Amino acid sequence: MTGSDKAIHLAGMLLAAGGLAIGLIGCKPYRIEHRKRPSFYHRASATELPEQEVLEDGTIVVYETSRPRGEFQRSREVDEEGKPYEIREEKEDGTIVLRAFLPEHVLANTLTCLRNEEYELLWDQMLAEVTKQAYEDRGEGPEQFAAFFRKHRQELAKTLNRMILGIPREEVEVVWAGVDAVGCRLRRHVAEQFVFTQVEMVREERDLKLRIIQ
């Protein structure tokens, strides 16, 4: 190899190395995180849920739809008649039955009732007795309850929808007070965008009921 050939060969190597260095500098580190999302989130959401998203730190989150397992799910996959368990069931006669054993169930059922403007159903089946008593103590009842939810329908729906989406993203604090009470609260960096930021629930027998949204 002549001297000029060596010089050309060396220059080519330097250019290749420089290109590789630029390529490495331009590549930002990232990670892929897989998260499971209960199937009822799709039914509760007013919009199509993304299969993946990119967080502010560059993390790519890939969602997998699944049904929750464990003791609760194993014992509630079917009802007394052997039919698949549903948190919202419509009977043949048109009667609707709401069930809620987890905080997510209360959020989903409340959001669906809001979207359908089913305020009487919400009062009858999802509202806690302690809250109904508080209305009664003020000389109020289902009419005043419906008026409040009708007036704030959009803002309440925004909060509930964001909580449902935010639980798997860890944007919601879920705090249990023993086995009889639980609160869901939007984290501070999310809460500032919403009028309502917290949902409280209480357990009555085996069902969770809505106590207050504030």
| Single-letter residue type at 149 | F
Could you tell me if 164 and 111 are in contact, meaning their C-beta atoms sit under 8 angstroms apart? yes
Judged by average pLDDT, the poorest of 2-6, 15-19, 199-203 is 15-19
Q: Any idea which residue has 């929750």 for tokens?
A: 68
pLDDT of residue 55: 67
Distances (CA, A) of 2 to 8, 9, 12, 55: 10, 10, 15, 55
Question: What six digits make up the tokens of 141?
Answer: 């009842």
Could you tell me if 181 and 201 are in contact, meaning their C-beta atoms sit under 8 angstroms apart? yes
Could you tell me if 162 and 155 are in contact, meaning their C-beta atoms sit under 8 angstroms apart? no
Q: What number of other Cβ atoms are within 10 A of residue 198's Cβ?
A: 17
The residue ranking higher by pLDDT, 62 or 192, is 192
pLDDT of residue 178: 76
Could you tell me if 31 and 37 are in contact, meaning their C-beta atoms sit under 8 angstroms apart? no
pLDDT of residue 12: 45
Distance CA 108, CA 87 (A): 9
Direct distance between the N- and C-terminal alpha carbons of the chain, in angstroms, rounded to an integer:
81
Helices vs. strands in the chain: H and E counts, helices first: 9, 9
pLDDT tens for 23-52 read 444 455 557 766 665 555 554 444 555 677
pLDDT of residue 150: 97
Beta-bridge partner residues of 2 = none
Domain boundaries, the chain: 26-213
pTM, to two decimals: 0.65
